[in-house]
Amino acid sequence: MKIIKTKIGRRSFIKTSALASGGLVVGFSWLASCNMSKEEVENLPKEWFEINGFLKIADNGMVTIMSPNPEIGQNVKTSMPMLVAEELDVDWNDVIVEQAPLNIDIFTRQLAGGSQSIRQGWESLRMAGATARCMLLEATAQEWEVPIGELSTNEGKIIHAGSNRSMGYGEIASAAAKIEAPEEVVLKDPKDFKIIGTSRKNVDGKKIVTGKPLFGLDYKEKGMIYAMMVHPPAFGMKLKSIDASEVKEMPGIRDVFEIETYPEDFEKSWVDVNAFSKLAVITGDSTWEVMQAKKKLKVEWELSKHITEQQIILDKTPDLSSTGGLESTKIHKSLMEQIGSDRAKVVRKDGDPEKAFKNAARIVERSYSCPFLAHNTMEPMNFFANVSDNKALLVGPVQTPEYMEQSVSKRLGIPLENVDIQMTRMGGGFGRRLYGHFLVEAALISQKVGAPVKLVYTREDDMTQGTYRPAYYATYKAALDANNNLTGFHVIAGGIPESPLAANRFPAGALENYLAEEWTIDSHVSVGAFRAPRSNFIAGAEQSFLDELAEELGKDPIEFRLELLKKAQENPVGENNDYEADRYAGVLELVREKSNWVKNDSGAHRGVAAYFCHNSYVAQVLEMTMKNNQPVIEKVHCAIDCGIVVNPDAATNLAQGGIVDGVGHALYSELTLKEGVPDQTNFDKYRLIRHGEAPKSIEVYFVENKIDPTGLGEPPFPPIMGALANALYKATGERHYHQPYMTSKQILG
């Protein structure tokens, strides 16, 4: 049981009103989970007290809960309303969940990313439900003239046991709207939860399987025309000229022209990532006709001035500070392998690692790398736009509607209040739809042609325009003394164009002599967040190295990790360690037990890995056999500590999906370049996991505790790559240091 304040001083997190048709509306702040003194609250920004969520109880007893966050398959549209319904004590069958429209005046953080939705809404959503329940009880107590303490609730009914009376919420909702909201409410003790912790079906499940129009590609309006764009074939090139004479005569083609998404003087925000700003655009009556026109369009490209100046440098003596020029994977690899401590900056240093390595009896050193990856969402990029009369209506799938509303307003010169972005369900994102340049493109095209437009990317358009997962490289070193003790640890990591290093994560804090350094290389290849950014590489590299180190020390891989975590728990080094050693050890102990690690009667080769990111802890054991020289993943055991699990089935699905995704990318996927041109343009060359290559079985176990929920959409993804590499070594006797682990020759046998 926890008491939470709904108002502090003159500031309130709650606003109540009556429905015009009869009933109660509770507006609330998503930032209400602050437990501060009155003086601290007075200094908070006013935005913390803006009403940005809504709960409606109609006079027929139906409860409508607005779900503000974009739904990308992570099931927040189901799980977040469950928090409200729990405290309201309503029958889940009487709950209607609606996708809230984008409204930065009343909603906050309308964003899908970072695995933070449940964590950030944990107290504020429950507060809304508890407030409404309290007001309903107060109104009933007044009407029945009984003490409020004699009343109870159950599944949308108010009960007075003493007189054997009951009343549905709808019958008293209008009267409750006249009650002043309480200054504080009591939240349930987790042991009393009836909805949280139980599995509830996806509220859109039936619509999805019956083909209802939920996704951006489904959206149509009368008079809508179709548009596609043509971007430069290589990173570092730009549009010079278009010859549209032949194309304009083709059936169904309306117009061909240029647009510039972001002029040079345009100040981009973090969501405006875009490698190619000047584009050729074709509009027509159907996607098929426009696609045929794309094949015929004559476009001339040229190198940018900056590229021309640096091309000679690249071909002969690559500059480590900027690749410039028409880049290639070969050059990228050469650059990353060259960089050493003289080019890197120290991010963390504990003890005297230099002395530890100088006095070491032997040093274990290994390097790891991964390539660029394309997001490859199932639903290609698309957006509808209708710009007219200084107004813009945009409809489609995007993870950052709030930020893109600002970009569209700024680029088109339309007042922010006149830009309306409506969210559809997304057919995948994985970070790709955080970057909404395609919204700006759609809006510019609509503004140019003066008609509603549907912009659609082909698979090739999206796979070759960038916004990839960065390419990374990391070198790990361990110093061992004459008695085979680990005395020093050094990691130097970087990437194109960012570093994957998380210097304050394990094994930092467990070693007296620890050094972490990082570096970056600039690039014209555009990159962006990819499921579990940075962690999706560094976890696999770190966990592979720890396994090899355990073997060098003659120790069991799980026991070795637990020994280090015990040191971090009992005598931590440094003050900035961003993990809790006991929780980290807890998932390792749970997966060791569930996988029967010690006995190992599975008959399979096994690898283990564990990692902490997005505030959660995951440990995995992967069991593998070999058939015709191909790895067969028989089973994955996955232990997760993400605090209280809101919706177990949905949580299990998230973990299973992350594991399959991680296995596929580690084994097969890569995006390579030659003279700035992507080698992989569609799924005939870009290898994704097949159904038959997925693990045959995935068992997911959650640590049961009463800790508030943390992230879950991303944490199961990074460690599986390390567990896979470690199992491959056990199965083949060969260590794998560079992704993808399976070459084309190996895949084909």
**How does pLDDT run across 28-46, given as a tens digit for each residue?**
765 555 555 556 555 555 5
In a domain, 505, yes or no: yes
Q: What is 46-110 written as a DSSP string?
A: GGGGS--EEEEEETTS-EEEEE-SPPSSS-HHHHHHHHHHHHHT--GGGEEEEEPPP-TTT----
Select from 411, 432, 456 the last residue of a domain: 456
Question: What number of other Cβ atoms are within 10 A of residue 534's Cβ?
Answer: 21
116: closest CA among 580, 712, 719, 528? 712
**507 preceded by cis ω (within 30°)?**
yes
In a domain, 309, yes or no: no
- What gap in Å lies between CA 143 and CA 10, rounded to an integer? 29
Q: E-strand spans in 244-330?
A: 253-260, 278-284, 298-303
Looking at per-residue pLDDT, the higher value among 189 and 202 belongs to: 189
Is residue 500 domain-shared with residue 558, that is, in the same domain?
Answer: yes
Is residue 491 domain-shared with residue 439, that is, in the same domain?
Answer: no
Three-state DSSP class for residue 318: coil
In a domain, 87, yes or no: yes
**497 preceded by cis ω (within 30°)?**
yes
- What gap in Å lies between CA 393 and CA 634, rounded to an integer? 49
Is residue 188 domain-shared with residue 221, that is, in the same domain?
Answer: no
The pLDDT of residue 59 is 85
pLDDT digits (tens, 9 = 90+) for 195-246: 999 999 888 888 888 888 889 999 999 999 999 999 999 999 999 999 999 9
Amino acid identity, residue 285? D
Look at residue 310 and tell me whether its pLDDT is greater than 60.
no
Is residue 53 domain-shared with residue 103, that is, in the same domain?
Answer: yes
Pairing of strands 514-520, 453-456: unpaired
Select from 412, 427, 456 the last residue of a domain: 456
Look at residue 346 and tell me whether its pLDDT is greater than 70.
yes
In a domain, 475, yes or no: yes
The pLDDT of residue 619 is 98
Please answer whether residues 405 and 419 qualify as being in contact, where contact means their C-beta atoms are separated by less than 8 angstroms: yes
Three-state DSSP class for residue 671: strand
Looking at per-residue pLDDT, the higher value among 446 and 20 belongs to: 446
pLDDT digits (tens, 9 = 90+) for 646-661: 999 999 999 999 999 9
Is residue 582 domain-shared with residue 635, that is, in the same domain?
Answer: yes
**740 preceded by cis ω (within 30°)?**
yes
Which residue's structure tokens are 């720890």? 546
> In the chain, what is the straight-line distance between the N-terminal and C-terminal CA atoms, in Å?
60
- Mean per-residue pLDDT over the chain, rounded: 89
Cα distances from 325 to residues 236, 305, 313, 520, 679, in angstroms, run 6, 10, 8, 17, 17
The alpha carbon dihedral of 136, 140, 142, 146 has a sign of: negative
Which range in 44-48, 59-63, 717-721 is most confidently predicted, on average pLDDT?
717-721
Is residue 431 domain-shared with residue 503, that is, in the same domain?
Answer: no
The pLDDT of residue 43 is 58
| Six token digits for residue 376 | 């490859």
In a domain, 337, yes or no: no
- What gap in Å lies between CA 180 and CA 182, rounded to an integer? 6
Q: How many domains, in total, are found in the chain?
A: 3
- What gap in Å lies between CA 521 and CA 334, rounded to an integer? 12
The alpha carbon dihedral of 431, 429, 395, 466 has a sign of: positive
pLDDT digits (tens, 9 = 90+) for 631-647: 999 999 999 999 999 99
Question: What number of other Cβ atoms are within 10 A of residue 568's Cβ?
Answer: 23
CA–chain centroid gap for 650, Å, is: 16
pLDDT level of residue 737 (50, 70, 90 thresholds): very high
- What gap in Å lies between CA 280 and CA 296, rounded to an integer? 13
In a domain, 209, yes or no: no
pLDDT digits (tens, 9 = 90+) for 239-282: 999 999 999 999 999 999 999 999 999 999 999 999 999 999 99
| Six token digits for residue 165 | 């009376």
Alpha-carbon dihedral 124, 130, 135, 138, rounded to 10 degrees: -150
Select from 137, 162, 194 the last residue of a domain: 194
Please answer whether residues 481 and 312 qualify as being in contact, where contact means their C-beta atoms are separated by less than 8 angstroms: no
Please answer whether residues 573 and 350 qualify as being in contact, where contact means their C-beta atoms are separated by less than 8 angstroms: yes
- What gap in Å lies between CA 109 and CA 129, rounded to an integer? 20
- What gap in Å lies between CA 689 and CA 708, rounded to an integer? 34
Is residue 540 domain-shared with residue 655, that is, in the same domain?
Answer: yes
Cα distances from 743 to residues 352, 669, 688, in angstroms, run 41, 10, 13
Is residue 81 domain-shared with residue 230, that is, in the same domain?
Answer: no
In a domain, 371, yes or no: no
Range of the domain at 436: 216-304+381-456
Pairing of strands 698-702, 630-641: parallel
Please answer whether residues 466 and 457 qualify as being in contact, where contact means their C-beta atoms are separated by less than 8 angstroms: no
Is residue 21 domain-shared with residue 131, that is, in the same domain?
Answer: yes
User: What's 97's domain CATH number?
Assistant: 3.30.365.10
Is residue 441 domain-shared with residue 516, that is, in the same domain?
Answer: no
Is residue 423 domain-shared with residue 534, that is, in the same domain?
Answer: no
pLDDT digits (tens, 9 = 90+) for 579-598: 999 999 999 999 999 999 99
CA–chain centroid gap for 249, Å, is: 44
Three-state DSSP class for residue 394: strand
- What gap in Å lies between CA 742 and CA 181, rounded to an integer? 61
In a domain, 373, yes or no: no
Is residue 505 domain-shared with residue 633, that is, in the same domain?
Answer: yes
